[in-house]
């Protein structure tokens, strides 16, 4: 069993202890997310989703306006900002104290979200690879930064993913990124192994099987496997039928030391966290 050690991040001047796993609820303000049930395009849908995320117990709202599904349509920075402004204005109106993360790989978008809407965390699927200004921007903003491993881009990442040694390559990728961020003075870094991003089903399960080894970095780990193809394709179903598989893998991830679960289904994830934490608290476990 993974040892429980305090892991704090500074969120808008408030410390959050990630040794108690947190649930991050997904708010997609896109028309083309891979899971149709997660799309929130109208103001009514967005407000309903914000309420659902908070009412079901998530401690972080992660909003994104650029779909990162395989073969996703590329949109401009201006369009991404327009969509995000709609979502962020509604979050600040209806849940002004919410801890908000923005899923973007663009430095100018990150800057706008933090400066105009007090966004607390930037979640970058490319770990700076798709915008060379991102690392310096995050350092200036002084906020927690989630870096994900991805081979390629959303447009081509699933064409022919290949690794000579998956774990060695992912670990080397993170070691380089973390060092560069540390050199710039970034204090709060969160690692996301990037399940489903430039990886086959076998790669994804290999990563999950070795998830506890990411603790070598002594940094919080985020797991985002909610309703992904590593579940529904493996089981021969659809994203709409993948909740049970998602909960199973989220539970495994928690047992292997995951600090944040990024999910569509907040209630199920919150319950998984509560049950795993209860088991860990029992002396006989």
Residue whose token pair is 């995320």: 53
CB atoms within 10 A of CB 130: 16
Q: Of 114, 90, 60, give the one whose Cα is nearest residue 262.
A: 60
Distances (CA, A) of 277 to 9, 55, 188, 274, 280: 20, 20, 24, 5, 5
Residues 6+ apart with CB under 8 A from 71: 154, 155, 158
And the tokens for 148? 């994900």
- Is residue 233 annotated as a catalytic residue, yes or no? no
Q: Of 254, 251, 260, give the one whose Cα is nearest residue 220.
A: 260
37, HSE (Cβ side, Cα atoms, 13 Å): 12
Q: Of 180, 70, 59, give the one whose Cα is nearest residue 125.
A: 70
- Is residue 283 annotated as a catalytic residue, yes or no? no
Dihedral sign, CA of 212, 267, 246, 188?
Answer: negative
Active-site choice (83, 177, 228, 256): 228
Active-site choice (111, 177, 256, 262): 262
Tell me which residues are annotated as active site.
Answer: 228, 262
């Amino acid at each position: 069993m993974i040892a429980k050690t305090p892991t704090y991040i500074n969120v808008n001047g408030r410390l959050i202890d990630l040794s108690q796993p947190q649930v991050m609820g997904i708010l997609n303000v896109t028309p083309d997310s891979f899971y149709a049930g997660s799309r929130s395009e109208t103001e009514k849908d967005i407000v309903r989703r914000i309420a659902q995320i908070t009412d079901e117990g998530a401690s972080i709202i992660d909003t994104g306006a650029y779909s990162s599904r395989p073969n996703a349509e590329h949109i401009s920075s201006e369009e991404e900002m327009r969509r995000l402004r709609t979502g962020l204005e509604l979050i600040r109106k209806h849940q002004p104290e919410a801890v908000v993360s923005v899923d973007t790989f663009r430095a100018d978008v990150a800057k706008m979200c933090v400066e105009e809407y007090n966004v607390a965390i930037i979640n970058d699927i490319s770990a700076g690879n798709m915008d060379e200004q991102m690392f310096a921007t995050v350092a200036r903003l002084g906020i927690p930064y989630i870096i994900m491993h991805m081979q390629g881009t959303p447009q081509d990442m699933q064409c022919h993913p290949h690794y000579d040694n998956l774990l060695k390559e992912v670990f080397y990728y993170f070691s380089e990124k973390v060092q560069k961020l540390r050199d710039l003075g970034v204090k709060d870094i969160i690692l996301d192994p990037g399940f489903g991003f430039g990886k086959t089903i076998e790669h994804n399960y290999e990563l999950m099987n070795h998830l506890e080894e990411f603790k070598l970095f002594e940094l919080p780990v985020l797991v985002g496997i909610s309703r992904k193809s590593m579940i529904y394709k493996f089981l021969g179903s659809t994203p709409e039928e993948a909740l049970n598989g998602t909960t199973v893998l989220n539970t495994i991830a928690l047992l292997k030391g995951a600090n944040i679960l990024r999910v569509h289904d907040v209630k199920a994830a919150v319950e998984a966290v509560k049950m795993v934490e209860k088991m860990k608290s029992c002396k006989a476990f």
